[in-house]
């Protein structure tokens, strides 16, 4: 079955810097890759997603890139703000298989 | 519009008790998923419905776990004879289905088994 690995587990950046979180997946048949943001005690919130027929997608300060050959995808957040602080999860598949999460801390 | 809702938000059960967790998906969403999220971990897939049909229950950890969606809308996850290892947040997500893969999560039910 699908397996998703996510790195790093924690990431601390200064406000205004960029943050990059990387994930690899094992099942070459996977064709959908969402990213979720989860604040403490809250529900996972879908922030961006990409399908396997697209290499890159951008939404304001957030972008996702996908390399199907290498089976990895990344989340890029530019101009980070303190409110970006949360745990970010990547996932793959239809029944989503999640990575272990990255705790992002943006220091003002 | 209204998002996915779940009830109760918190449930404390004594070991051995049965519990029932409810999920109200976004109106019109065909697909419904249940996930289990342990503290500090990512959600783990439990089961999946398309309308009233349970198409995948491969993630249910034991035969004490049972899910249903009899009319293709509201779903209930039932756990019989709860054990301490069942303590987790149970998340429900719904998706429009067909060609749409986006899943929208409910707030979850935090189950604590004492």
CA distance B87 to B38: 8
Strands B31-37 and B65-68: unpaired
CA distance A8 to A101: 8
Strands A56-59 and A62-67: antiparallel
CA distance B96 to A69: 29
Cα–Cα nearest to B32, from B76, B78, B88, B80? B76
Kindly indicate the confidence band of residue B98, based on its pLDDT and cuts at 50, 70 and 90: low
Residue A47 C-alpha, separation from nearest chain B C-alpha, in angstroms:
10
CA distance A23 to A88: 11
Cβ pair B42:A99 closer than 8 A: yes
User: What is the reported pLDDT for B2?
Assistant: 82
3-state SS assignment for residue A54 = coil
* pLDDT tens-digit series, residues B24-60: 999 999 999 999 999 999 999 999 999 999 999 999 9
Check the CA dihedral A27-B36-A86-B103 and report its sign: positive
Residue A100 scores a pLDDT above 90:
yes
CA distance B88 to B109: 8
Q: Which residues of B touch A45 (CB under 8 A)?
A: 105
Residue A94 scores a pLDDT above 90:
no
Cβ pair A43:B105 closer than 8 A: yes
Residues of A with CB under 8 A from a CB of B: 6, 32, 34, 36, 42-46, 49, 51, 89, 91, 94-101
* pLDDT tens-digit series, residues B71-91: 999 999 999 999 999 999 999
Cβ(B76)–Cβ(B22) under 8 Å?
yes
Kindly indicate the confidence band of residue B18, based on its pLDDT and cuts at 50, 70 and 90: very high
| Angle of CA points A69, B42, B71, to nearest 5° | 100
Summarize the confidence of residues B95-107 as an average pLDDT: 88
User: What is the reported pLDDT for A54?
Assistant: 81
User: What is the reported pLDDT for B34?
Assistant: 98
Cβ pair B42:A100 closer than 8 A: yes
Cβ pair A101:B45 closer than 8 A: no
* pLDDT tens-digit series, residues A2-26: 899 999 999 999 999 999 999 999 9
Cβ pair B101:A101 closer than 8 A: no
User: What is the reported pLDDT for B100?
Assistant: 78
Tokens standing for residue A19: 């943050």
Q: How far is CA B1 from the centre of its chain?
A: 21
CA distance A76 to A70: 18
Question: How many other C-beta atoms are found inside a 10 Å radius of the C-beta of residue B16?
Answer: 10
Cα–Cα nearest to A80, from A56, A61, A58? A61
Question: How many other C-beta atoms are found inside a 10 Å radius of the C-beta of residue A81?
Answer: 12
**Burial zone of A13 (CB within 10 Å; 0-12 exposed, 13-18 middle, 19+ buried):** middle
Tokens standing for residue A70: 């290498």
Residue A101 scores a pLDDT above 90:
yes
């Amino acid at each position: 079955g699908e397996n998703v690995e996510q790195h790093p587990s924690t990431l601390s950046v200064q406000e205004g810097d960029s943050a990059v979180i990387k994930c690899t997946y094992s099942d070459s048949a996977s064709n959908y890759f969402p990213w979720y943001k989860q604040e403490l005690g809250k529900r996972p919130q879908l922030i961006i997603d990409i399908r396997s027929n697209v290499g890159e997608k951008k939404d304001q300060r957030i972008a996702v890139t996908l390399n199907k050959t290498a089976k990895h995808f990344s989340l890029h957040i530019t101009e980070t703000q303190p409110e970006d602080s949360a745990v970010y999860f990547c996932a793959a598949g239809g029944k989503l298989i999640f990575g272990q999460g990255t705790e992002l801390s943006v220091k003002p | 519009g209204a998002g996915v809702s779940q009830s109760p938000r918190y449930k404390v059960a004594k070991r051995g008790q049965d519990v029932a967790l409810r999920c109200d998906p976004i109106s019109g969403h065909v697909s419904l998923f249940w996930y289990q999220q342990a503290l500090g971990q990512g959600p783990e897939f439990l089961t999946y419905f398309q309308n009233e049909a349970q198409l995948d229950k491969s993630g249910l950890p034991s035969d004490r776990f049972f899910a249903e969606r009899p009319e293709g809308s509201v779903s209930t996850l039932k756990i019989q004879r709860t054990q301490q290892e069942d303590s987790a947040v149970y998340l429900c997500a719904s998706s429009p289905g067909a060609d749409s893969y986006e899943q929208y999560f409910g707030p979850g039910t935090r189950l604590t088994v004492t």
